[in-house]
Every structure is written in C-alpha cells, then in structure tokens.
Structure 1
Amino acid sequence: MIQRFIELGEGYSDIYELLELARANQHRIVHLMAFHSSVGDRPVTSLAVILQPTDPGNFQALYICREGIPNPKFIPNKRYDLFQKTAEELGKQIMELSVKPSTMFHEKELYYQHLIGILRLNHFLKPLQ
C-alpha cells in the first residue's frame, strides 16, 4: 500500500478545497486530523483528511493544509471552526496530535514520512503490507 500526503497549501484559501474534498469523499473518510506544533514562537495547526485506500490501486491519500492555521487553543479562528463544523456535519471527530514542526526537517518529504510513522504507531493508519 502506498500512503502519501498531498499538500494543498498552508490553509488559507485552500482550506475550502480540503473541506470540499472531505464532503465529496465522506464515504471514504477514515480520520480528520489536526496536527499542532510551533513554528518559531507561533503556535500553528495543520489540518488533514485521511481517506480509505483506493480499490484497485491500494493508494491511500492524506490531504493536508500545512502549518498555516493558528492553533485554536491559543488563537480561536474561523478556518478551524469551519473544519470543526464540517466534522460535525460528517459525523466525525477531529483527532488531535502534537507533532514537531516541518521546519525541523531538511525536506518536506522527511516531515511527511515522520507524520506517517506517528500515524501508524498510533494506529490511525494501517501498517504497510
């Protein structure tokens, strides 16, 4: 199985595409995720939609808006509220994790591999087969 993050952007206007992807694929949603971290002294959140693997193909897409949304625990904001409202509409709960920021990695791909490892370790993703 191939599990891959697909970055839509940092969560400004692309948050609407993430929400639309969730609504259009609600029958395939496994988890809605919020990854909290700090970039410098700024608390930020990445929002993600994890879908069931495709059949055929066995490709699991993890759509993400990376580190552009303020952490709602420190700075309430409309973008996170929209994600929360969409979760409620779809009957899903947002799973929240605190993670290292992407700035700690030399490449974005390494950051995404780190997140995939965390998601597998916590059983949010199935192990490779």
Structure 2
Amino acid sequence: MIQRFIELGEGYSDLYELIELAKANQHRLHLMMVLHTKIENKEVSSLVVGLKPTDPGKFQGLYICREGIPNPNYIPNKRYELFAQTAKELDKPIFELSVKASTLFHEKELFYQYLIGILRLNHYIAPLQ
C-alpha cells in the first residue's frame, strides 16, 4: 500500500479545500488529525484528513495543511473551529499528536516519511506491507 501526504498549503484558504475533501469523501474518511509542533518559539498546528485506501490501487492519501494554524490549545482560532465543527458533523474524532517541526528536516519528503512512520507506529494508518 502506498501512503502519501498531499500538502494543500498552510491552512489559509486551502483549509476550505481540506474541509470539502472530508465532506465530499465521507464514505472514505478514515481520520481527522491535528499535529502540534513548535517553530521559532511559536506553537503551531497542522490539520490532516486521511482517506481510506483506494480500491483498486491501494493508495491512501493524507491531505495536510502544514504548520500554518496557531495551536488551538494556546490560541483559540476560527480555522481550527471550522475543522472541529466538520469533524463533529461527520461524527469523527480528532486525534492529536505532538511531532517535530518540518524545519528540522533537510527535505520536506523526509518530514513526511517521519510522519508516516509515527502514524504507522501508533496504528492510525496500516503498517508497511
């Protein structure tokens, strides 16, 4: 199975696309998640929508708005509230994890491999097959 992060942006207008992806793919919606990190002494979060693998093809897309939203545990904000409201409407829990910042990796692809490893290890997505 191929599991890949697909970056939409940093969570400004692309947040609406992330929300629409979740709503339009309710039958394939696997998880909704918030990844918290710290960049230059700022607490920020990434929002993730993961879909069930395609059949055929076994491709699992994990759509992400990366590190552009203030951490809602420190600074309540409307963008996170929209995401949380969508999760509630779709009857999906929001999983939260603290992760390393993407700025600590030399390439963005290494950051996404790190995240996939964490998600597999914690059984949020299927293990490597």
Say whether the fold is shared (TM-score over 0.5).
Answer: yes
* Equivalent residue number for residue 71 of structure 1: 71
* Equivalent residue number for residue 48 of structure 1: 48
1:107-122 pair list within 5 angstroms: 107-122=107-122
**One-letter amino acid of the structure 2 residue matched with residue 116 of structure 1:** I
Residue by residue over 1:39-83, the C-alpha shift from the partner in whole angstroms, topping out at 9 and shown as x without a partner, is 111100000001000000000000000000000011100000000
* Equivalent residue number for residue 58 of structure 1: 58
Shift of 1:128: 1.7
- Displaced runs of 4 or more, over 2 A: none
Q: Distance in 1 between matches of 2:50 and 2:14?
A: 16
Shift of 1:125: 0.7
Q: Distance in 2 between matches of 1:89 and 1:49?
A: 14
DSSP 3-state at the match of 1:26? coil
DSSP 3-state at the match of 1:27? coil
Q: Does 1:11 align with 2:11?
A: yes
**One-letter amino acid of the structure 1 residue matched with residue 118 of structure 2:** I
**One-letter amino acid of the structure 1 residue matched with residue 20 of structure 2:** E
Tell me how large the CA RMSD over aligned residues is. 0.4
**One-letter amino acid of the structure 2 residue matched with residue 109 of structure 1:** E
Shift of 1:13: 0.6
Q: Distance in 1 between matches of 2:16 and 2:96?
A: 20
When normalised by structure 1's length, the TM-score is 0.99
* Equivalent residue number for residue 89 of structure 1: 89
**One-letter amino acid of the structure 2 residue matched with residue 42 of structure 1:** K
Matched residues, percent identical?
Answer: 71
Q: Distance in 2 between matches of 1:15 and 1:89?
A: 16
DSSP 3-state at the match of 1:116? helix
Q: Distance in 2 between matches of 1:10 and 1:82?
A: 15
- Name the count of aligned residue pairs: 129
DSSP 3-state at the match of 2:48? strand
